Structure 1
């Protein structure tokens, strides 16, 4: 009898610890899904859009889901990465990898600029300040038409081949383009997973749960918020740079407040504060847009209805609800 009682917990251990195991290897599991994703989507261009907007939402979720700050200014971070990547290629003739690096740095710098001005505000005030600053960025890029193309957007971002240590990849090929972009998204997943698993990641969530207790424990709450916002800008800048390479143009609408609103919907649909939720939200949103728009021009009504249903009956989002119900 004693031997049976000793064996029973060991037999139950795999099922009891599946969630912990999945959390520990969440970046690897997400990477596996990304690698097989083109096989289940209607067409490859849609899969690429889901990757890019999922990465954009991943950066936004770091601020909204993990830190608890609602921003309506992330279009500035996304757009800055796209425009600076495009400018590096069109006006300076830099190679694609240098342009992507510049896009990431642009996201960092834009987030630092907006963060310094907005991070001391709270709640709806933070949301409004970030939106106002984002609209200022939109106006500046709109007026700098010699560099950005103004109303017509930045055109001529032509990357036809990707040279990797002598291996030339045809970037025009949709499947090749998907996996090149997927490589950056997978790298971003691993970086984010490492950030969240670090002591700094624990501080981010401590600030979200109880700001006063985090401050009493000796943490600089304002600096933590600023650093998190800047890190978010890096992810969004990378997403913007990949979007510029994917579309070969950067439309001025990428900086409009609609782009900030879309990422809020994506994060809420997928599940804020979850690791893979932003990618689920991007997939649901873009799939609905592409499928419903074939039937009717009023696809926003359908997407809006689905969004309201999710908010009312699945407040944790699609992925967040599945995780909460699947926990042992």
Structure 2
């Protein structure tokens, strides 16, 4: 037995636990935690978009909130203004995010290090302020609220997001599929090209890899993942707001990624889950709870530089002796 097989078994157990969670939580009569778990799934997916750039390609982005916001507004505008159904509205949100990432990426991927991080912040700020000014389209400071269409409406079979358990399973399905696609991507030739670019541009170029093209593809895919998370978040809250396009939201994704383990598949989601759960527990008893969250983050970074998932893999390898 090796590290990979153990992690696969644990991932399967985690997936089974997540699928069964609404039944358990309903029996415990704590539906509040079902909403928290739904939010964790969405933010975990969002964090994975930052991880794709930082952990796999070596590009630190503080602009993922821009594509998250495009996903949100794509859904909200599609439903509220165009009268689209749930699936077409989600498609519009993801397409808008991919389009914006494709355009922004043409400029951003030509820069590296702090220049890349700065340009992603600039793009995020530009469209954040535009969203506030374009009130007839975006709702401005008030945002856009809407009623979510049904997931499925076929004869007597009708599934809606008004049921908390149905909403949770719907989000879980989309998030699991997104992570499964990321796992396949990592094992593909493109995933290996991402790793080569992360290890060194010059070496990647000598291997015949078009570095700028690979970076651009990663940038667009990461934008699509962030947009998908934004679309799910809009459906979760029945609301889209420019506040979620601000660059500090991207900063949270970076923190979750570093805390959970940059470069690992599930690390960012683990980091998001940990900090969100700590926030929910402490916010009701201590008004200065961000101090505890910050202290926890610093402690993990100091004592587990590879993050929670990275530290777990290292410990498991030592225990198994391989």
- TM-score under structure 1 length normalisation: 0.90
Q: Is the 8 A contact 1:27 1:186 kept in 2?
A: no
SS of corresponding position for 1:121: coil
Q: Is the 8 A contact 2:152 2:160 kept in 1?
A: no
SS of corresponding position for 1:161: coil
Q: CA 1:26–1:120 in 2, change beyond 3 Å: closer, same or farther?
A: farther
Partner of 1:273: 263
Partner of 1:21: 5
Q: Is the 8 A contact 2:65 2:245 kept in 1?
A: yes
Matched, 1:235 2:233: no
Q: CA 1:192–1:33 in 2, change beyond 3 Å: closer, same or farther?
A: farther
CA separation in 2, counterparts of 1:30 and 1:297?
Answer: 32
CA offset at residue 227 of structure 1? Answer: 0.2
CA separation in 1, counterparts of 2:63 and 2:279?
Answer: 23
Q: Is the 8 A contact 2:86 2:149 kept in 1?
A: no
- Show the 5 A alignment for 1:54-133: 54-133=44-123
Partner of 2:168: 178
CA offset at residue 30 of structure 1? Answer: 6.0
The farther-off stretch of 221-230 and 103-112 is 103-112
Residue of structure 1 aligned with 2:35, choices 45, 57, 60:
45
CA separation in 1, counterparts of 2:263 and 2:75?
Answer: 29
CA offset at residue 162 of structure 1? Answer: 2.0
Q: CA 1:33–1:112 in 2, change beyond 3 Å: closer, same or farther?
A: farther
CA offset at residue 314 of structure 1? Answer: 1.1
Larger radius of gyration: 1
CA separation in 1, counterparts of 2:111 and 2:140?
Answer: 32
CA offset at residue 20 of structure 1? Answer: 3.3
The farther-off stretch of 165-174 and 111-120 is 165-174
Partner of 1:193: 183
Q: CA 1:90–1:281 in 2, change beyond 3 Å: closer, same or farther?
A: same
Residue of structure 2 aligned with 1:35, choices 19, 35, 45:
19
Matched, 1:314 2:304: yes
Segments of structure 2 that go 5 or more residues without pairing to the other structure are none
Could you give the per-residue CA deviations for residues 59-105 of structure 1, whole angstroms, max 9, x where no partner exists?
A: 11110111111001111011111111110000001000011111111
CA offset at residue 123 of structure 1? Answer: 0.4
Aligned structure 1 segments of 4 or more residues deviating by more than 6 angstroms: 23-27
Segments of structure 1 that go 5 or more residues without pairing to the other structure are 1-14
Partner of 1:145: 135
User: Aligned-residue CA RMSD in angstroms?
Assistant: 1.9
